[in-house]
Structure 1
């Protein structure tokens, strides 16, 4: 998502090693079979050479014909070859090959299931964004959807449903930009406020059908519904949390981001901004001072 290409499933190192081992075992078995055939033919040839052709007939060792010792020595090497193939590499054989093949099949099935689960999770978001874009094509767009938020260098935006930092100028900027507009948020973000923010229309996205809110707060069940509810606002804002940001990044026109130049521990994160889709159009840096414990920058991005 967000302009990044998904990596194509590939055979991993473990699977590749299994395939190489299987190929190696096949070669070893073929060589052993060839060795056995040559041993039989060679033994017959040696016996015939000594008894029929009388080659080395008068040469004996310990009172025995020399070809018996030649065959025994060759037999020793054949037995060593057999031991090396069937004992030293005891994991081989048809049963072993079938086991490895079964492992490959199981691993590929797991990969397919993971891909299916990812597609099932992303399908509603993709469908929602396509529906929204389709509606924009049918009629002239009259509003500019803007994402606004603050994120650390590691994209952390909050912990335990609370802000991680307090930056006076950031709060002032948020108030100035969103004042008089519709602000779209998830349920947890709304619950993080002591009370609804003044002079703004709150649109809360929740799956709960009986969620109770104060008068004036609009309840919807999807980002698409939230955008429709704010259609008369020339610039509605999406203010969080992490999952709502992720969905909004597909359809938003603009991002107003405060980038806090430190890493923080968090449990909610701002999605990565793909610079092939988003162009930075403004950047204002702020140093630390009496009211600000951290350096930060006000960044503006617009869709390319």
Structure 2
């Protein structure tokens, strides 16, 4: 009783046009039928008026009674009406057929455009998938790692030198980087008395004709450094501050030694965004006779 109102069915525009044309056609035929009935009645009336009532019986054209010409003229009008309904204004004439053909072509064109859009989207998706798979494959081949020791206030150095001496940290650095490419800035490289053994050094500098010992690779950008170490399964970024900042956007892992103390410094490590990085390992070390500060070895991996 108080149910929802029935929704009025929506009529397609083409269907509505067909209904309207059908209504016009019915009106045309009704008018023609009325014309035909009036013609019959009128013709009979003219014949009766002339033959039985004697109206205009002496009035003739070319030897024929006048009502014969009147009936012929009316018959001509009726024939013209029939021609107009069934020939000139047909329900589905050439104009209507042309209009429907244009609509059909337009709809087919729309479908073609939709198919084209679909193909374009599929091609983009396929390209993205291929690019992703390629990147993933390359990532599996090489894992770019930042290795750094930073204080609680993110200090990493002063005057191009380390602020502290932690023997276990130096051992860890040696064990992790041994046999790998190490990527660094010019100032970091110049802080070494000599190149570190059993490692391939890649130095980033803008200086032209920068002289280095044999075996050291010189490049101009971080991207070139990464490309130069692409055959290494785990190249390491070892500093300094500006190189670390650039590497944070492209590195896969961070091996951090967090020194639990604050220091005055002129070089700092970027803050690690936990929305981007996940801590996967954490080992705490107390200070002892060989270590003046407490520290932790922490591993971060980039979130997928």
Q: TM-score range by the shorter chain?
A: 0.5 to 0.7
Structure 1: tracts of 5 or more residues without a match:
1-132
Equivalent residue for 1:207? Answer: 206
Q: What residue in structure 2 maps to residue 140 of structure 1?
A: 138
Distance 1:147 1:138 in 2: 19
Equivalent positions of 1:41-52 (< 5 A) are none
> How many Å apart are 1:135 and its aligned residue?
11
Q: Does 1:197 align with 2:196?
A: yes
Distance 1:138-1:273 versus aligned 2 partners, 3 A rule: closer
SS, match of residue 247 in structure 1: helix
Residue 297 of structure 1: how far off its partner (Å): 0.2
Task: Pick closer, same or farther for the CA change 1:187–1:159 going to 2, 3 Å.
Answer: same
Give 1:170's aligned residue.
Answer: 169
Extract unaligned runs of 5+ from structure 2: 1-130
TM-score when scaled to structure 2? Answer: 0.55
Cα distance in 1 between the residues matched to 2:160 and 2:254 = 22
Partner of 1:187: 186
Matches within 5 A, 1:110-149: 137=135, 140-141=138-139, 142-149=141-148
Aligned partner of residue 226 in structure 1, secondary structure? helix
Residue of structure 2 equivalent to 1:153: 152
Q: Kindly state the Cα deviation for residue 209 of structure 1 after the two structures are TM-superposed.
A: 1.2
What is the CA distance between 1:140 and its match in structure 2? 3.5
Q: Deviations over 1:225-265 (max 9, x none)?
A: 00000011000000000000000010000000000000000
Q: Distance in 1 between matches of 2:133 and 2:173?
A: 29
CA offset at residue 158 of structure 1?
0.2
TM-score, normalised by the number of residues in structure 1: 0.55
Distance 1:301 1:187 in 2: 26
CA distance in 2: counterparts of 1:138 and 1:206, whole angstroms: 29
* 3-state SS of paired residue (2:138): coil
Give the equivalent residue in structure 1 for 2:242.
Answer: 243
Looking at structure 1, the residues matched to 135 and 182 of structure 2 have their Cα atoms a distance apart, in angstroms, of 24
Provide the secondary structure at the position in 2 that maps to 1:165.
coil
CA RMSD of aligned residues (A): 1.6
Aligned residue in 2 for 1:54? none
Structure-to-structure mapping, 1:1-304, within 5 angstroms: 137=135, 140-141=138-139, 142-304=141-303
1:251 to 1:269, Cα distance in 2 relative to 1, 3 A: same
Distance 2:233 2:208 in 1: 28
Q: 1:136 and 1:244, CA in 2 relative to 1: closer, same or farther beyond 3 A? A: farther
Q: Distance in 2 between matches of 1:189 and 1:134?
A: 34
Give the Cα–Cα distance (whole angstroms) in 2 for the partners of residues 261 and 219 of structure 1: 35
Instruction: State the Cα distance separating 1:301 from its structure 2 match.
Output: 0.1
- Deviant stretches of 4+, over 4 Å: 133-136
Query: Aligned-pair distance for 1:210?
Result: 1.1
